[in-house]
């Protein structure tokens, strides 16, 4: 078995790792997108709630209503801060996943280059062998041997 054939299982393992890393990157990116969408929803809801409160406060609100509004707004702001932390963690995970994928891709590409080099060397050896056989046949046919 030649060297390029012996490298095929190693190349397959590297390719599988690269595919898993790409899937992990995709999953991390989806998670980040979901976190960012949730943050956008929370921020939009807070803005909408604040706008509604401002329009109602001009009409007049009771002290209890103002207290409830402030308490709810405080909880909403806490939820937004927590979601911001989740978004940042998701961003970090995307970057780590991207790093794993880039590393796996680099290893796969390096192995592909090695296998291609082995194949080129094997073709060269085969071409030389065929040329030697052809030369040997040509030499025998000139001398009358077959």
- Structural domain spans, the chain: 3-140
Q: What is the C-alpha separation between 66 and 60, in angstroms, rounded?
A: 10
How distant, in Å, are the alpha carbons of 28, 36, 60, 126 from that of 91? 8, 10, 43, 52
Over residues 71-99, mean pLDDT: 96
Q: How far is CA 18 from the centre of its chain?
A: 9
Angle at the Cα of 72 (from 69 to 75), degrees rounded to 5? 150
pTM score of the predicted model: 0.74
CA end-to-end span of the chain, whole Å?
Answer: 31
The pLDDT score that the predictor gives to residue 143 is 66
CATH classification code of 3-140: 1.10.287.1700
**Where would I find the H helices in the chain?**
3-59, 63-143
In this predicted model, what pLDDT tens digit does every residue of 6-40 receive, in sequence order?
999 999 999 999 999 999 999 999 999 999 999 99
- How is residue 123 written in tokens? 């073709």
pLDDT of 63 > 80? The answer is: no
């Amino acid at each position: 078995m030649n060297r390029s054939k012996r490298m095929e299982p190693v190349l397959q393992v590297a390719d599988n790792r690269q595919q898993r890393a790409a899937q992990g990157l995709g999953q991390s990116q989806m998670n980040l997108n979901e976190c960012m969408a949730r943050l956008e929803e929370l921020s939009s809801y807070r803005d909408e709630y604040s706008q509604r409160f401002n329009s109602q406060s001009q009409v007049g609100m009771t002290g209890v209503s103002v207290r409830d509004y402030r308490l709810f707004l405080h909880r909403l702001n806490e939820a937004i801060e927590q979601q911001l932390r989740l978004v940042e963690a998701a961003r970090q995970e995307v970057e780590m996943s991207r790093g794993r994928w880039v590393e796996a891709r680099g290893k796969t590409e390096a192995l592909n280059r090695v296998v291609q080099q082995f194949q080129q060397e094997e073709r060269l050896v085969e071409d030389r062998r065929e040329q030697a056989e052809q030369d040997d046949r040509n030499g025998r046919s000139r001398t009358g041997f077959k």
